Amino acid sequence: GAVAAGGGRSGTAADWGGFEDNMQGGGSAVIDMENMDDTSGSSFEDMGEMHQRMKEEEEEEEAEGEAGAAEEEDGEFLGMKGLRGQLGRQVADQMWQVGKRQASRAFSLYANIDILRPYFDVEPVQVRTRLLESMIPVKMINFPQKIAGELYGPLMLVFTLVAILLHGMKTSDTIIREGTLMGTAIGTCFGYWLGVSSFIYFLAYLCNAQITMVQMLSLLGYGLFGHCITLFVTYNIHFHSLFYVFWLGVGGLSTLRMVAVLVSRTVGHTQRLILCGTLAALHMLFLLYLHFAYHKVVEGILDTLEGPNMPPFQRVARDIPVVSNAVLNTTAKAVALTL
């Protein structure tokens, strides 16, 4: 019996020993359970998060629906106020977009300046040569004459003409009722340069002349060199005969230079007559206008010499005897009292 009991205990011990070995040595079942717990726990957490998110979305939708209903009620209650609020927001958005575009254009302005750089990239020696050539007409009709495609020289000549015109206005005491002397001079010179260049370019397009707008601006700008010389001399030396000599000589040479260039670039006698006659008339009449509109020194000097100075001399001559008689009477009275 004891043996059997011992054998039974040993059998059970062997069985439980295997289980204990599994529990102590082999932790695979425990690790698997832990892994399963982890996965199951994470899945439960995910389900909880999803459920929570669904609840939040439903609450947000309900809140938006309530807000929309409130806005509709407010719009119905307020009437035009709700519409004005929407229009105000739209106008504010448009203003923001417009301001953003203008700011971007301002920042990209430096990139656009490179477009104008070739027209002002010129050496001073070349400008001096072109100034001299603008006074020398060349008779060459068989093929087009070359025109400098730069704007530095013409722009400087226009500014020089503005300075000379200001000098003439100040010396002749010209009165400008609307505006200032500087604004009038700049408007006159730049208006002529840009306006006449555009008009002659339009005529050249109608007459099939081979010239571009930049070349026309350059040609007319260098043509103002004769005007600058004529006005500078005649504003300082006040003789009408000298002005007419310079008008026909210097102004005529610069006009003939431009006419010769346009003749070489135009085909057809009628087209040449219309184009060159219009340019010559405008250029010569502009010089006459600048002289007689802002140069009144000679007339003013003649008026002051002839008219206004004569009456004061006469009045002074008449007043001298009266003063002498009064002095004699007072002296006679004083002598009689002393005696």
Q: Is residue 223 part of a domain?
A: yes
Question: Is the model more confident about 321 or about 153?
Answer: 153
pLDDT-derived band at 319, boundaries 50, 70, 90: very low
Task: Tell me the angle at which helices 213-223 and 152-171 cross, rounded to the nearest 10 degrees.
Answer: 40
Q: Is residue 121 part of a domain?
A: no
In angstroms, the CA 161 to CA 220 distance is 13
What pLDDT sits at residue 50? Answer: 64
Q: Is residue 216 part of a domain?
A: yes
Q: Is residue 242 part of a domain?
A: yes
The count of structural domains within the chain is 1
- The average pLDDT across 226-253 equals 90
Q: What percent of the chain has pLDDT over 90?
A: 34
- 165: closest CA among 296, 290, 251? 290
Q: What percent of the chain has pLDDT over 70?
A: 58
What pLDDT sits at residue 40? Answer: 41
**Which backbone phi and psi does 308 adopt, to 5 degrees?**
-65, -25
**Which backbone phi and psi does 109 adopt, to 5 degrees?**
-65, -35
| Buried/exposed code over 173-185 (b: 16+ C-beta within 10 A; e: otherwise) | ebeeeeeeeeebb
Question: Is the model more confident about 80 or about 175?
Answer: 175
Q: How far lies 137's CA from each of 131, 134, 146, 225, in Å?
A: 12, 7, 13, 14
Task: Tell me the angle at which helices 124-133 and 152-171 cross, rounded to the nearest 10 degrees.
Answer: 70
For 81-103, write each residue's pLDDT tens digit.
Answer: 667 777 878 888 888 888 877 76
Residue 240 domain boundaries: 148-300
Q: Is residue 12 part of a domain?
A: no
Q: What is the identity of the amino acid at 64? A: E
For 14-71, write each residue's pLDDT tens digit.
Answer: 455 554 554 544 444 444 444 444 444 444 445 555 666 776 777 766 666 665 555 5
Joined together, the tokens standing for residue 212 give 């571009």
Q: Is residue 209 part of a domain?
A: yes
Joined together, the tokens standing for residue 189 give 């010179």
Which residue is it, tokens 């996965």?
Answer: 39
The pTM assigned to this predicted structure is 0.56
pLDDT-derived band at 333, boundaries 50, 70, 90: low
Q: What is the mean pLDDT of the chain?
A: 74
What pLDDT sits at residue 318? Answer: 45
Whether the Cβ atoms of residue 238 and residue 298 lie closer than 8 Å to each other? yes
Q: Is residue 29 part of a domain?
A: no
- The average pLDDT across 211-239 equals 91
pLDDT-derived band at 331, boundaries 50, 70, 90: low
C-alpha dihedral (167, 170, 175, 178), degrees to nearest 10: 50
Question: Is the model more confident about 268 or about 116?
Answer: 268
Res. 104: pLDDT tops 60 = yes
Res. 213: pLDDT tops 90 = yes
What pLDDT sits at residue 212? Answer: 92
For 165-203, write each residue's pLDDT tens digit.
Answer: 988 887 776 676 767 888 889 999 999 999 999 999 999
- 251: closest CA among 289, 278, 223? 223
For 252-306, write each residue's pLDDT tens digit.
Answer: 999 999 999 999 999 889 999 999 999 999 999 999 999 888 765 444 444 444 4
Whether the Cβ atoms of residue 153 and residue 218 lie closer than 8 Å to each other? yes
Q: Is residue 325 part of a domain?
A: no
